[in-house]
Every structure is written in C-alpha cells, then in structure tokens.
Amino acid sequence: MVAVTKRYGATVAVDAISYRFRSDSYTCLLGPSGCGKSSTLRMIAGHESISDGSVVLAGRDISTLPPAQRGTAMMFQNYALFPHLSVLDNVAFSLKMKGTGTSERHARAREMLELVDLTDLADRMPDQLSGGQQQRVALARALITRPQVLLLDEPLSALDPFLRIRMRGELRKLQKELGISFIHVTHGQDEALALADDIIVMNNAVIEQAGPARDVFNAPATRFVAQFMGGHNVVALPDGHFAIRTDAVSVTEPTQGAVEGNVTAVEYQGTHVSLSARITGDQEVMALIPDTTFFANPHHPGDRIGLHWDANDQHKLTA
C-alpha cells in the first residue's frame, strides 16, 4: 500500500496519491515527463524521503527503512554497473556488502546469471557487453537480494527498438516465473500495455486512473487518459465528452443518421488505413479501417462521408 506526497521546496511532485498494489503483479506507472512517477518509485525504494504518508509492504511500514532493508530492489535506467568489476562480481556485489562468503555469493550470482541467460559471460567486464546484456546483468544484480518487489525506472529506454520489444517479453516472463511484484515506470503507453497487469496513469502529480490494463485502455475515465493512451477519439457531443476507439468507427457514404464529415487525411499503415475527417464543431474524428475494407471502397481527402459507431462504444468522460 502506497499513500505518499513528495514536495521539493514549493514544488509538489507527488500530491497525496494512494494505491494498493496487487501482490505478484506487474504494474506500470505511466505518465508524461514530470508527472511524478520517478519520485513515487524512489519513495518506495527509499532513495527519496517521503514528505507525507507511508509505504507499507506486506503489513510492514517500510517508510523510514534504508533501501537495503525494505524488501525492494531497484533497477536503474543507466544500469549503474561497476566498470571495474566482472559481471559475476557486479551481480554478487550486494551479498559482499552483507558479508556473505566468496563461494556462497559466487554460487548465488551464477544462479542469477542462469536466470537471465548470461552464464557464459560471467567473467566479462561491463564494457565488453551489449546494452541488452548490461541490462540483464543489472536485473540479476537487483534480483540477487531476493526482493518482494522489483522497482524498474525506465529500464528499456536505453535499448534500440528491436531489443526493447524482446526485453519486454523477457521482463514479463521473469516476473511470472519469480512470482514477485514488478513496479515499472515508463512514459510509453505501448510499453505499459504490453507489460502490465495493472496500469496507474499519472498526470500533474496525481493518479488520473488506475486499474487492469485493458480497463484503462478500453474505458478511459478522463480526456487526458483517452488521449495519452491513444487509439481513441475524444468527441464533444450535446451531453458531454466521449471517448470512442478509432477502430470502432466505420465509414460509409453520407447517409441519414450518420455523423457527416469531410475527409482531411488518409494514412496507409500496412494492416490498417487511418482516415481523419472533420465533423461539425470543427472536431477531428479518426477511423482506423482494415486495409482490405478501405481499398474495397477508398476515400480521399475532400470526400464527404458518413461516420458510424455503436452507442455501446461511446464512453462518457468525467473530465
């Protein structure tokens, strides 16, 4: 259970957020730059003091404990490996600090390297590793402390797009295998959707919405969440603002009963075509159409069209 506030002088970086993390789940803290997600993670880790509130892990208030005694472990964005230590000694480092003997700590470090599939590189130095390999060493180094919760701050941002997608799969698999909780900070909605059981969307130091990933995507509560998660239109109708998924909008000739609009842009995206149209009130609506459907009856910028969606696909927004 995390209920915290963080102030830096007059800046309120985290404003009385409160959330009960589900045990053994993968949770992503998602939001734009500066919304307070890293500060939240650092307060859980113990790298930042809590201005108000507390962090309780499995019934134990860990708010004032030093990082190493919390039952959490943190993996940093830049991996922070020690350049003068071998891979094995990097992984074994925290055990050395605890006074564990050489043979035991090396045995445990080898177990961790096996877990992240790096057994063959135990004797290398960090500068002889690729970015993806360095990241796995950092993971092994965090996991050797047997944390109940692994905290990850933008762990994939230093990787190229191909490796990022591969590591995504590995993180997810590792979390399920270990059966511990992962709390992962990211500003990428695609990353959060790919990884998370639960997503917490933060904006301006508060939680905008939190819940299972599919619920947050399918039923955004606010305009901010709908726009930040992507894949939605936000439309102002006489009875309020609504979110409508772009793939729930279909396009026909202008007919009675349909919302009419003028096509402003057509973008081919391979499997789909994204068509934008301007409707009354100077609003833009996007329809994501399967490519075969679109090319059976293509439309072009300037065409007058009808736009349809099911009333059930219309989600009322609260703000």
Ligand X SMILES: Nc1ncnc2c1ncn2[C@@H]1O[C@H](COP(=O)(O)OP(=O)(O)OP(=O)(O)O)[C@@H](O)[C@H]1O
CB of 32: closest distance to ligand X in angstroms?
7
Contact between 212 and ligand X by CB under 6 A: the answer reads no
CB of 291: closest distance to ligand X in angstroms?
35
Q: Quick one: angle between helices 102-115 and 131-143, nearest 10?
A: 130
CB closer to ligand X out of 32 and 169: 32
Are the CB atoms for 2 and 21 separated by under 8 Å? yes
Neighbours of 65 (CB within 10 A): 15
Are the CB atoms for 21 and 71 separated by under 8 Å? no
Q: How many residues bind ligand X (CB under 6 A)?
A: 12
> Which of 10, 33, 84, 120 is in the footprint of ligand X by CB under 6 A?
33
CB of 298: closest distance to ligand X in angstroms?
41
Are the CB atoms for 92 and 143 separated by under 8 Å? no
Contact between 199 and ligand X by CB under 6 A: the answer reads no
CB of 233: closest distance to ligand X in angstroms?
26
Q: Among the candidate windows 30-38, 206-214, 276-284, 289-297, which touches ligand X by CB under 6 A?
A: 30-38
How far apart (Å, rounded) are the C-alpha atoms in residues 89 and 74?
18
Contact between 37 and ligand X by CB under 6 A: the answer reads yes
Q: Which of 302, 270, 265, 256 is nearest to 287 (CA)?
A: 265
Q: Which of 115, 123, 160 is nearest to 141 (CA)?
A: 115
CB of 49: closest distance to ligand X in angstroms?
11
Contact between 13 and ligand X by CB under 6 A: the answer reads yes
Q: Among the candidate windows 37-45, 89-97, 237-245, 263-271, which touches ligand X by CB under 6 A?
A: 37-45
Contact between 23 and ligand X by CB under 6 A: the answer reads no
Q: What is the DSSP letter of 312?
A: G
At 5 the three-state DSSP class reads: strand
Contact between 8 and ligand X by CB under 6 A: the answer reads yes
CB closer to ligand X out of 47 and 168: 47
Give me 17's structure tokens.
């957020």
How far apart (Å, rounded) are the C-alpha atoms in residues 259 and 277?
10
How far apart (Å, rounded) are the C-alpha atoms in residues 38 and 35?
8
> Which of 35, 142, 263, 273 is in the footprint of ligand X by CB under 6 A?
35
Contact between 110 and ligand X by CB under 6 A: the answer reads no
Contact between 62 and ligand X by CB under 6 A: the answer reads no
CB closer to ligand X out of 17 and 142: 17
Q: What is the DSSP letter of 188?
A: -
Contact between 34 and ligand X by CB under 6 A: the answer reads yes
Reduce the secondary structure of 143-183 to three states and give it as a string: HCCCCCEEEEECCCCCCCHHHHHHHHHHHHHHHHHHCCEEE
> Which of 5, 27, 38, 90 is in the footprint of ligand X by CB under 6 A?
38
> Which of 27, 39, 135, 222 is in the footprint of ligand X by CB under 6 A?
39
Contact between 36 and ligand X by CB under 6 A: the answer reads yes
Q: What is the DSSP letter of 282?
A: G
Point out which residues bind ligand X (CB under 6 A).
8, 11, 13, 31, 33-39, 187
